[in-house]
Structure 1
Amino acid sequence: MGFWWRPLSVLAGVLLVALMLWAGSGAVTALTFLVGIQAAVMLRRLWQEYRLSRWLESPDEVTPPEAMGTWGDIFYRLEKLQRRQRDSRSELTNALEQFEHAAQAVPDGMVILNGNDQIDWCNPASRKYMGLDCERDRGQFIRYLLRQAHFLEFLDAADYSRRLVCKSPLNREITLSLQLVPFGEAKKLLVARDITELERVDAVRRDFIANVSHELRTPLTVVGGFVETLADATTLPAADTRRYFALMLDNTRRMQHLLDDLLTLSRLESADHSLKDESVNVPELAQALAAEAESLSGGGRHRVHLEVASDAKLRGSLQEIRSALGNLVSNAVRYTPDGGDITLSWQMKDNEGVFAVTDTGEGVAAEHIPRLTERFYRVDRSRSRETGGTGLGLAIVKHVLTRHGARLTIQSTPGKGSTFAAVFPKSRLIEASPSATVIPFPAQVQAVG
């Protein structure tokens, strides 16, 4: 109703004037007046339409026209609508830019395909994994760029619940997981995710389970065999019975040691297992480990030496450091023949604390050294089982030292012996003071882990 009152009131005023002219000057004068008014209205309307047309052609360049009356209301409402559309367009542009920036930052490769499997858009990660370039390959058929048979079958199947695991066409060492996601009208999003690390972890898990099963099978077989023998035999000589029980006890302890080491590794790798910040008196710990080596040696089978050239202490977990250094000592006792020498030393070298265990055992060939800290890796499997090793000792050492920012170095010469050294950084040392005694240390070492 608000729109009509103004034009109707103007029309009523014009008709009133025309009637007054008709009555005073005759019909010709009244008609001439009406024709003039109509011509003025038409010219004004044409002029306003022209101004409106110019504005609509270039709304961002031409100033919105100003007018009175109805045309003023029309221009005002159109200008208001234009401002609203401009704000909406700005918001959409910002949203699109944010999406594009986010898509470019996503580590997964993303490719938008139209209904004909042509590339509409792709992010930078797709170049890394699939060799695609957004500017160069826009509009290209993806099946012409990625020609692997298994990929073409995956693309043609259009099974959106299925994932394709394949090697990257650019780098065979990268394993990709491809998935198609439908969206919009006949469009598809191809997502390529790098699962190389997941594949490696899965392979490690499978190997770990296989190794644990293998390590437990032998002692379980021995114990089970003797139990069956004892169950079936009515009478056995006392000497045989004692020997059977001794072997079962030995294999039971071996399984117990294996489980203890597995639990230790699990605890070290747990995200909830925080590192303690204690003061570790290494000189006292070295004396305790030397006494432990004498005990493990069993009646003086080895000559154990202790050389402490520094009173420096360490900041860290006493339990973990003792476990790691104790593994180095027990390995030295285990793999050193009777009559050999085992030397434990603690000294400062290049502002670092070095706890070294040197033996005169059989030594390790150079090709084995980088793999010694792998779980269940053994240079000589049969000898490791004879000596009671679980194959996890050096893996535990590596984890403990890594948690303390330290490293393990190994120097070994086949037939002459080995030196395993835990090297702690300066940041872990406390209360260090110079000593007059300097312990000789191998000049050339090989870092492991």
Structure 2
Amino acid sequence: MTAHHRVIWSQGMFLRPHHFQQESRFVESLVDARARAAHPYAWGFGELVLDEAQFALGRVALVRARGVLPDGTPFSMPDVDALPSPFEVSPDLLGEVVFLAAPRARSGATEVDFGDGRGDAVARYNVIDLDLRDHTNAADDPEPVQTGALRLQLLRQRDANDSHALLGVARIVERRGDGQVVLDRGYVAAQTRIEASGQLSATAALLHGLIQQRARALAAGMGQLGHGVSEVADFLMLQLLNRTEPRWRQFAGAPSVHPWPFFLACLELAGELATFSSTRLPPEYPLYQHDDLQRCFAPVVQDLRELLSTVIQRHAVPIELVDRSHGVRTAVIADTELLRSAGFVLAVRSQLPMEQVRQRFPSQCKLGPVDRIKELVNLQLPGIALRSLPVAPRQLPYHAGSHYFELDRQGELWKQLERNGSLALFVTGDFPGLELELWAVRQP
């Protein structure tokens, strides 16, 4: 616009207020253009504190607020600018947003109200007389100088229009019968840093705590890394959390983090964690909207809380076998859900060739409930059958030289095992260097 061109200062020119006003417009437009080029969302609240005592009186009022309006106008209340009058909430404002508003600069319009009754209703500044000293000679008496104070007010959504630069402050939920105003605690005002109003900084602290808690639990329960799918998944999850945690520590504790990079970090973490979910893919989250932060943050934060709080179910669960001597080993399967729905695999290692183990072991191993094993052995009764597997189940750690047998879950003996959860295993014959591992494998 021509209204933003610079003034050409030349020798002998006759100075008028127009020259200085045009120079101010040029400098302001230059600063605004540089700021917008450096960051697309360089506006919003840097601090926003509401007067909660006014809620009981049916009003919305500010205690402190500072930031930048969408048109690039900075404000700071109450240290520089005057606080606007409290906004009276009427019963018909349910669901509406209350805005902080200031008149926009308008080309060719009077921007100043001198208080003489002839000012424009949407004049941008009120004239205030200040007594100022000459900083080059502080001994001189102060002189009165007319200054322009930005006219800030609180407006309801229906009264907001293009003549004002607007920042949403709060959303009204209801006005109760006793006059008390209830605000939407989930509403997030446009802001230049996540601690401006508290909701996003609290979210950062919460998610950082969940990341730490999940990483510590995985690290404590990992032990020596094996090669099973479940162990590899835990390792990859721990790697992801360890890579993420230092950044989220900064979000939770460092000042002046802008909501936009914070939102991108939320999306990135949600996308990576979706790999470990049942869907394997992230949903389509809303695009970033600086003037509607609640809408874009709410779904991704909800998913992050669920993804970080959900324990990854292991597909393979080791069952401890206790050596009772004389070829007897026992195991306690406390999880009845495993007995009902999971498959059970016995991994056998021996110094014998694998083919001999495959052929001999099923006939020389007796399995059954603990209270039936003596009867099964003494009377040579069939126990729970073993079926040789051609390859190792993908859910289990791979060990060279091991052969794998699946336990038959059909028959009366398995039903008895489901009731008491105690398994006994008796091995006869010579299997030098025998090592046994029992695994419960959850069905996909």
Which range, TM-score by smaller chain?
under 0.3
Greater share of helix: 1
Q: TM-score, length-normalised on structure 2?
A: 0.21
Which structure carries more relative contact order (alpha carbon 8 Å, separation 6+)?
Answer: 2
Greater share of strand: 2
Q: Which structure has the bigger radius of gyration? A: 1
